[in-house]
Amino acid sequence: MKDYDIVIIGSGPGGYVAAIKAAQLKKRVCLIEKEWVGGTCLNIGCIPTKALLASAEMYAHTKKAAEFGVEIKGEVSYSLDKIMERKRTIVSRCVKGVEFLLKSNNIDVKRGRGELVSQDEVKVKDETITADSIIIATGSKPKIIKGLEPDGKLVLSSKDALEINEIPENFLVVGAGVIGIEMATFFNSLGVKVTIVEMLDAILPTLESEKLSKALNSLLMKRGIEVQTSTKVSKIEKKENSLSVTFSNGEEREFEKMLVAVGRVASFDGIDIEKIGIEMNSGFIKTDKRMKTNIDKIYAIGDVRGGMLLAHKASREGVVAVLNASGIETDMNYHAVPSCIFSSPPAALVGMTEKVAKERGIKISIGEYQYIGNARAHTIGEKEGYVRIITDENGTVIGGEIVGAQADTMISEIAMACEHRMNVRDVEKVIHPHPTLSEILMEAFDDAGGKAIHKPPRSKENVCETVSGRNGENDKLKGKEWLLRNG
């Protein structure tokens, strides 16, 4: 008899969720963690980043208090030390919460580097344990570019940026992915002059939404962030307290600090891929839809298996892996995994974008509604942005995106519609409370079916453009939408 039914290597949002699910199924579970319970997400990723962004957002909102009739005497300022202290307190509470859950589910947690010895053996320090099934959840780490190696002082990794002890006057962000944009938002909100450079021709290139990319790019620039696409860093020269940076266009600039956020790669610490014979796919572990590798009884979940490097995707993959390891055949579905960017304003998308649908030859209809046409958006001073709904020719919701306040929360309604392949006619029956931002979703869903109440009817030409997949939205109508809705 094996020591455990399931052994999981890595306790990030994929690993610890898998462990708890296995315990719920009455399995004997061992979770191995070499560093932090909660993994990158809770300790040096999602949670600390959002804590910093929340502080920066509060500071930025407070500076706009006069717009809401609120008078603040004296200059509004912030304390970086207290911002960092708040972040650490939040991280500590979240980690302790996960540790409590693991303990209350009677999960054995072993501290140390988990070395995969064979398809049913894992070594932790001087102990070798056996398992019927093993789940690899070792996550990812920042990609390192030659010549741009972080030094923790002038050239920063995302981890370094989360522990910065002095705010620079100007800051360079290399890479316009989610991490780069979120950190640029944080520093910009605190008054730093921020420049983003991206080697590809658009920000957020992996999300494949031209409209979302252009809209967010415009809003970032409106807030004072300089964005240069199709641009690389050719050379950096380190000085005592600054960097001289040469770009691929020949421009030379000086920055106090630089963040390198050019993507992440799988972390295989303790997993000898070649020795075990695990099949790979573009630098990540290859699995099927049940999270199985090519080696019997070995599964892989989360960042280490590639795809979208998202905590919530890893958690669901963890559940799927455990179900299959327990004999409950379950496939992982990726058609409705939301992605969120916690910029200012935030953005989110789920399902197919217009670009992807076109590439697959799907005839689509697009519904869209602007934040400026919503009463609640005006009351909270968040009038910038839009909601877009994409359906197939039968009206089935296949995707959607949001740029604007509370996008990260509201995307769940579109995700629900995508996951259950709902038709816009079904969503039309849902009563949305007034006045709320959720009514923007309601109008966009209705518009996808050509039945939006609070915007002018489309001309025949615009309807045809929308059905063919082009954006039939007439920007000149935005102001009229507001008048129609609010009189």
Question: Domain of 370: which CATH number?
Answer: 3.30.390.30
In terms of Cα–Cα distance, which of 2, 284, 269 is closest to 134?
2
Q: What pLDDT score does 464 carry? A: 34
Percent of the chain predicted with pLDDT > 90: 90
Only one residue has tokens 């966009």, namely 444
Cα–Cα dist 38/139, whole Å:
11
Q: Are 41 and 84 in a shared domain?
A: yes
Is residue 460 in a domain?
yes
Is residue 334 in a domain?
no
Mean pLDDT of the region 20-32: 98
Q: Are 309 and 434 in a shared domain?
A: no
Is residue 201 in a domain?
yes
Last residue of a domain, one of 245, 262, 279: 262
Q: What pLDDT score does 1 carry? A: 84
CB distance 225 to 182 below 8 Å: no
Q: Are 76 and 53 in a shared domain?
A: yes
What's phi and psi for 288, nearest 5 deg? -90, -170
Is residue 149 in a domain?
no
Catalytic residues: 434
Q: Are 132 and 8 in a shared domain?
A: yes
Side by side, the strands of the sheet bearing 252-255 are 233-238, 243-247, 252-255
Q: Are 252 and 277 in a shared domain?
A: no
Q: What is the pLDDT of residues 365-386, one digit of tens each?
A: 999 999 999 999 999 999 999 9
Q: Are 277 and 365 in a shared domain?
A: no
Last residue of a domain, one of 325, 353, 372: 325
Is residue 148 in a domain?
no
Return the CATH number at 258.
Answer: 3.50.50.60
Distance of CA 442 to the CA centre of its chain: 24
Domain residues for 240?
A: 155-262
Domain count, the chain: 3
Q: Are 300 and 361 in a shared domain?
A: no
Cα–Cα dist 265/40, whole Å:
13
Report whether pLDDT(413) > 50. Answer: yes
Q: Are 136 and 278 in a shared domain?
A: yes
Is residue 336 in a domain?
no
Last residue of a domain, one of 293, 325, 357: 325
Q: Are 321 and 355 in a shared domain?
A: no
Is residue 243 in a domain?
yes
Report whether pLDDT(141) > 70. Answer: yes
Is residue 394 in a domain?
yes
Q: Are 9 and 132 in a shared domain?
A: yes
What's phi and psi for 213, nearest 5 deg? -60, -45
Q: Are 87 and 213 in a shared domain?
A: no
Q: What is the pLDDT of residues 227-255, one digit of tens each?
A: 999 999 999 999 999 999 999 999 999 99
Q: Are 274 and 255 in a shared domain?
A: no
